[in-house]
Structures are given as structure tokens and as C-alpha cells.
Structure 1
């Protein structure tokens, strides 16, 4: 190995982020979806509503896509420049499924950290959000899982995560309160212990008026 290649190997580190899950059975999911619809008085085999014939299959495929958790490499690099200010990636669009009603919640994530010895490829912050969002979730747990992975992989001086989302389980049913948003946060290390650092991070995650 050349000295240049050896240096790249020394600086870059990859850790595979996975989500072990049982195999999918789309045929069984389709049959269950058809039975679910019939139980609600909707017969997908009714000749009077031919457009419903493929709905059970479409429903199974839609949830298969929504709940397909992507694996990825969390790539970090040595902080050779000794950068010691906040790194924040904001407005990361995400969608997830409420574990209580299996209805979507959709929003944006703001993810940041105070580097120590290592920094991360910026796209990996967005991939981290997507990885944990692609499963039946609560927004509170999702927020903490993102922060946990950053702490585990980077060992930074601080981590901040803010999520804002609209939950269709509240806007389309139940309270039926359209336009409401839920905000959750998780602050770790320096961003939790020092009010000025916390305030700086929160200021960077606020929408910018154009």
C-alpha cells in the first residue's frame, strides 16, 4: 500500500449501520390487507368497485416501501483541522409511521454536533435520520436514536437533535387539528450542560425568514 493510500485508510473509518429484521411475506401481507378491508365493510372483490381489486396488493407494497430500513456506512474522518465549532445540518426531510395508528408523520430534522477527534461525512447525518425513521416509531424515540448513534460513532463534545413533524394520526383523526406540529429535542454533552451553546444550536435550527 502506498503512503498516500495508507494515510486515507488512517483518516477514514466506516461503521456499517444495520437493522436486523425478519423477512417480508408480501403475499401474506396482501391477504391480510384484503381481510382488513372486508372487516371494515370494503370488499375488494366487489364487481361494482373494480378499481379496488388491486388495493390490497398496493397497500402491502406501500407499507413495504415505507418500512424498508436502509443500511449505510457511517463514515468518519480524523479532525485534522481541529475544528471545534458547531456542525449543523438542518431541514432534513423525513417521514415515518406512528406506531400507535400506523399513519404517517412527516417533518424535518436538524442535527448537529460539536466535534472532538472525529468528524462525519455530512450526508451520513441525513442517512441516520432516514435509517431510524423507516419503522413504526414515536417521534420522541426517533429523536433519541439519532442522538445516540452520533454519540456512539463520533464521541463528540456535544450533540443536538431537533425534530418538527405533523402527525396525521392527530390531524386526520382524533383531535383533527390540521396544521399542528410537534417538536422534540435531545441535547447531549456540552449542548446540554452549557446554556449559551444550547441557545446557539437552537438559534441555528430556527427557520430563516426570507
Structure 2
């Protein structure tokens, strides 16, 4: 079977995937698939209100899943050494997370809190938010996304420690299945110095304000 190499989720390894899985369908094929789903749902894709829906869905998917075109290595590539001796943690609190569950392809929405302990250099704070977006804008499980964010920061910044916490609601739980509202899923990854009790406590104190 023909295969291609693709960079793995942790940004540091390559994995082999089938050639046919690597080929992206054309825009026309994507729109045809939407029309098929409309018919399967029981409606008529040729009626006036649905005529442009396949185009709109394809365009929305380009935005929802734009993370597949973003490389965390490039996002985190530029760092700065002139920090006037700053050697304490850098924390971003309340980064918006908008993702989609890979099991049902429905929205996952919440916030991410990210911190790292610099090891001589720092990265622009917007790059941390962009790193979160790069992994959020894909089909995901929250657990995987949390680990991927931590892996990327750890791999490319090589800090003394990384902390990532994601707090989100899943529409696969609120609008289908058990239909429980107000349930939040919290996932976390602590690496390096953030595994030390005092540093973890300082991180939580900053996150809670």
C-alpha cells in the first residue's frame, strides 16, 4: 500500500499514513458529501433554503479545522533573549478554546490556561494562544489536545516546565446522549518544575486570580 510520512501529533515524530488518507478531497466532493448528508437527514438539498448550504458548510469547515494547516514549530520558532533577567513563570489565563469532538463532530468550547517557566528566553505571548488554536482547530479529544499543547511548548521552547489546563463543555454530552447541561471537563498536564508542589500551587493561585 502506498503511504506518506506525516508529522505526528506531538510535533517531534513522524508516522506513516495511507496514501488515500493523505489526499484531500476537492471542494466539489466536499459539497457533494454535504448534499448526501442533507438527503440522509430527510431533507431536499435542492430546495431554496438549502441550495447554498453545501458551500457554506465547506467554508465553515475550512475555518473550524484550520489547525491542520498550522505548524506549532513555526508558531513557536521565534524567541527573545533580552528579558532583563526575568526567570519566573509566564502565565496566560483564559485563552478561548473552540474545537470539535472527533467522535461526533460537534463543538467543544471552553478556556485554556497555559504557563511555562523560561529557560533563558521567552516567546511572544500571542504565540502561546496561537499554539492552543492550532491544536483546538482540529477534530480532537480534550485529553489529546491538552497533551499536544504541552508537548509543543516543551519541545520547541525547551523551558524548565510547562503547565496546561483546559476547562470545556462538550455538545456531544449536552445536546445528545445523556443531555446533561453545565458539565465541565477539566484536563491538565504539568511538566518539569510544575510537578513540584509549590510551583503547581503558585500556578493555581494565579489562574484563580
TM over 0.5: yes
Q: Any stretches of 5+ residues in structure 1 without a counterpart?
A: 1-16
Number of residue pairs matched? 185
Structure 2 partner of 1:198: 200
In 2: Cα distance, 1:24 partner to 1:61 partner: 14
Equivalent residue for 2:5? none
TM-score if structure 1 supplies the norm length? 0.82
The DSSP-based 3-state class of the residue aligned with 2:100 is: strand
2:58 match = 60
- Tell me the SS of whatever aligns to 2:66: coil
Larger Rg: 1
Q: Does 1:34 align with 2:32?
A: no
The aligned counterpart of 2:4 is none
Q: C-alpha separation between the residues in 1 aligned to 2:206 and 2:23?
A: 40
User: Considering only aligned residues, what root-mean-square deviation do their CA atoms show, in Å?
Assistant: 1.9
Q: Contact (CA 8 Å) 1:79, 1:116: kept in 2 or not?
A: no
* 2:8 paired residue number: none
Instruction: Give the secondary-structure state (helix, strand or coil) at the position aligned to 1:197.
Output: helix
* Residue ranges of structure 2 left out of the alignment (5+ in a row): 1-10, 12-21
In 2, distance between residues paired with 1:187 and 1:129?
Answer: 16
**What's the offset of the Cα at 1:176?**
0.8
Mapping 1:47-86, distance limit 5 Å: 50-69=48-67, 71=70, 72-74=74-76, 75-78=78-81, 80-86=83-89
- CA–CA distance in structure 1, aligned partners of residues 82 and 141 of structure 2: 34
- Structure 2: how far apart are the matches of 1:113 and 1:24? 39
Cα pair 2:75 2:131 within 8 Å, conserved = no
